[in-house]
Amino acid sequence: MARSSPHKPQAARRAVLEIGEIGAQGDGVALLDGEPVFVPLTAPGDRAVVDIRGDRGTLVETLDESPHRAPPPCPHYGVCGGCALQHVNADFYRDWKRERVVEALRRAGVEAPVEELTATPAASRRRATFTARQAKDGAIIGFKQRRTRDVAPVEACLVLHPTLQAALPKLRAFARAFPANAFRLSVTLCDNGFDIDIGGDVEEPRGADLERLGKALEAAGGLRFSLHGEALLTLRVPLVDFDGMQATPPPGGFLQASREGEAALLALVREATRGARRIADLFCGCGAFALPLAREATVFAADADKSAIAALAAAAAHAQAAGVAINPVRTEARDLFVRPLSAQELNRFDAVIFDPPRAGAAAQAEALAKSPVPAVAAVSCNPATFARDAAILIAGGYRLVRVTPVDQFVYSPHIELAAAFVKG
pLDDT tens digits, one per residue of 169-193 = 999 999 999 999 999 999 999 999 9
Which among 80, 190, 284, 381 is annotated as catalytic?
Answer: 381
State the CATH architecture for 95-121+255-423: 3-Layer(aba) Sandwich (3.40)
Write the pLDDT tens digit of every residue in 324-350. 999 999 999 999 999 999 999 999 999
Output the CA–CA distances (angstroms, integers) from residue 297 to 124, 272, 275, 344, 374, in the order listed.
30, 13, 9, 20, 15
Return mean pLDDT, the chain: 95
The domain ranges of the chain are: 13-69, 95-121+255-423, 127-234
Confidence (pTM): 0.94
Q: With b meaning 16 or more CB within 10 Å and e meaning fewer, what string describes 95-122?
A: ebbbbbbbebbeebebebebeebbbbbb
Residue 84: which of 404, 418, 415 has the closest Cα? Answer: 415
CB 321 within 8 A of CB 314: no
Rg of the chain in Å (alpha carbons): 24
Local confidence band at 296 (pLDDT 50, 70, 90 cut-offs): very high
Rounded to 5 degrees, φ, ψ at 329 are -120, 115
CB 282 within 8 A of CB 352: yes
Q: Average pLDDT for residues 265-294, to the nearest whole number?
A: 98
Residue 361: which of 256, 304, 283 has the closest Cα? Answer: 283
Say if 13-69 and 95-121+255-423 have the same CATH topology.
Answer: no
Surface-to-core class of residue 7, CB atoms within 10 Å of its CB (0-12 exposed, 13-18 middle, 19+ buried): exposed
What pLDDT is attached to residue 7? 52
Lowest mean pLDDT among 1-10, 77-86, 144-153: 1-10
pLDDT at 2 over 80: no
Q: Average pLDDT for residues 45-51, to the nearest whole number?
A: 98
Local confidence band at 9 (pLDDT 50, 70, 90 cut-offs): low
Local confidence band at 154 (pLDDT 50, 70, 90 cut-offs): confident
Rounded to 5 degrees, φ, ψ at 148 are -140, 175
> Is residue 381 flagged as an active site residue?
yes
Q: Which CATH number applies to 127-234: 3.40.50.1110, 2.40.50.1070, 1.10.4030.10, 1.10.1040.10?
A: 2.40.50.1070
Local confidence band at 5 (pLDDT 50, 70, 90 cut-offs): very low
CATH topology of domain 13-69: OB fold (Dihydrolipoamide Acetyltransferase, E2P) (2.40.50)
- The three-class DSSP label of residue 39 is strand
